[in-house]
Amino acid sequence: MGRGDFELGKELGKGAQGCVYRARNKLDGSVVAIKAVELSRMSRKMREEAAHEVRVLSRLRHEHVIRYLSSFQEGMTLYIVTEIAEGGTMYEMIKRQTRMLQEKQVWKYVIQTALGLLHIHSQRILHRDVKTMNIFLTKTGDVKLGDLGVAKILDNTMDMAMTMVGTPYYLSPELCEGRAYNEKSDVWSLGCVLYELCTFKHPFEAANHGALVLKIVRGRYLPIPSSYSQVMTRIVDDCLQKDVRSRPTTEELLRSPLLAPFVSITCLKGNWPI
C-alpha cells in the first residue's frame, strides 16, 4: 500500500509532527484519516517519536481508541492511516455549545474516555496528553481517544516516567513539580476534561505558564455548577486529588460504586481489558 492508493481530501488538523487529512482509499472506497509526517524537517529524536507513535497505535484495539489501520513511508514522508472520527473533536463540540451539557451526556463522554484510557493503561502505556482536542467523536457521538504522539510505553507495570510532556492546562501537580509520575497523571487530565465538560473552562487558568503551574500545584479550583449532581462533583474532586496517592487509577475510577449507575454492566464487561 502506498500514497497512490489514497485520494487526499481536506486537512483535518495540524500538529508538531505533521498534518492530518481526510482521505479515501481507492481500493475499497473507505474513508480514513491519514497523518503525513515530514521526516526531512525533523531531528533524529522527532523521527524516533513518529516511529514510536506507529508502534503504540498498532498495539491498541478498543472501540474507544482511534483504530490504527496501516502505515508506509515514501521518500521522507511517513504516512499513518487510521480510522476517521467524523464528529470532530470534543474541543470543537464544547465550543459549539450555547447551554450547559446534560449530565447524562457528560457521563457518557467521560466514561467512554475512561474506558479507552483503561485499555491504553492495560497495555502499560501512558497517554500523557489527554485533552479535549485529542478526544474525537463519531457521527453518533461516541468517544474515540486519539493522538498518542507523546505516549510513553512502560517496560514494567510499576514504572514511573520522568519526562515533562503534555498540554499545560492538563498537567498534573507531579508533572509540574518534576516528580515521577504514572497512569494517575492521565487520570488528573481526565478530571480536567470532566471539569471542562461541566463548565466549558479549564479548572486552572492563568496569564502565564509560571502562574498556571502554581495554581495547579496548589490544587484549588472553583466548583462545577450546582445543577450537576454531588456524584459528579465527587468524581471531579477524586480525579483532581493533589496527592497522587489519594487519586484513583482508571480501573479504580471505573469500579467506583459512585459510577455504578452510570456504567452499564454490558459495556463494562465488553471493555474490561484484564
Residue span(s) of the chain under CATH 1.10.510.10 come to 90-271
Q: For the domain made up of 3-82, give the CATH fold.
A: Phosphorylase Kinase; domain 1 (3.30.200)
Q: Using 50, 70 and 90 to split pLDDT, how confident is the model at 55? A: confident
Average pLDDT over residues 143-158: 61
Note the pLDDT tens digit of each residue in 99-138. 999 999 999 999 999 999 999 999 888 888 899 999 999 9
Kindly report which listed range (11-25, 74-88, 224-238, 259-273) carries the lowest average pLDDT score. 259-273
Average pLDDT over residues 232-240: 97
Dist. CA 189–CA 271, nearest whole Å: 21
Q: Are 141 and 101 in contact (CB under 8 A)?
A: no
Dist. CA 128–CA 78, nearest whole Å: 23
What stretches of 15-151 adopt beta strand conformation (E)?
19-25, 31-38, 68-74, 77-82, 125-126, 135-137, 143-145
Residue 129 designated active-site:
yes
Dist. CA 167–CA 22, nearest whole Å: 25
pLDDT of 35 strictly over 90: no
Angle (nearest 5°) at CA 189 between 188 and 194:
95
Q: Are 129 and 141 in contact (CB under 8 A)?
A: no
Q: Using 50, 70 and 90 to split pLDDT, how confident is the model at 198? A: very high
Q: Using 50, 70 and 90 to split pLDDT, how confident is the model at 84? A: very high
| Secondary-structure breakdown of the chain: helix, strand, coil percentages, each rounded to the nearest 5 | 40, 20, 40
Dist. CA 178–CA 164, nearest whole Å: 7
Q: Which of 5, 129, 147, 159 is the catalytic position?
A: 129
Among residues 188, 194, 200, the alpha carbon closest in space to that of 242 is found at 188
Exposed (0-12), middle (13-18) or buried (19+): which is 198, by Cβ within 10 Å? buried
Angle (nearest 5°) at CA 120 between 89 and 44:
80
Residue span(s) of the chain under CATH 3.30.200.20 come to 3-82
What is the per-residue pLDDT for 63? 92
| Cβ neighbours of residue 256 closer than 8 Å, sequence gap 6 or more | 235, 238, 248
Q: For the domain made up of 90-271, give the CATH fold.
A: Transferase(Phosphotransferase); domain 1 (1.10.510)
Average pLDDT over residues 3-30: 87
Dist. CA 188–CA 79, nearest whole Å: 32
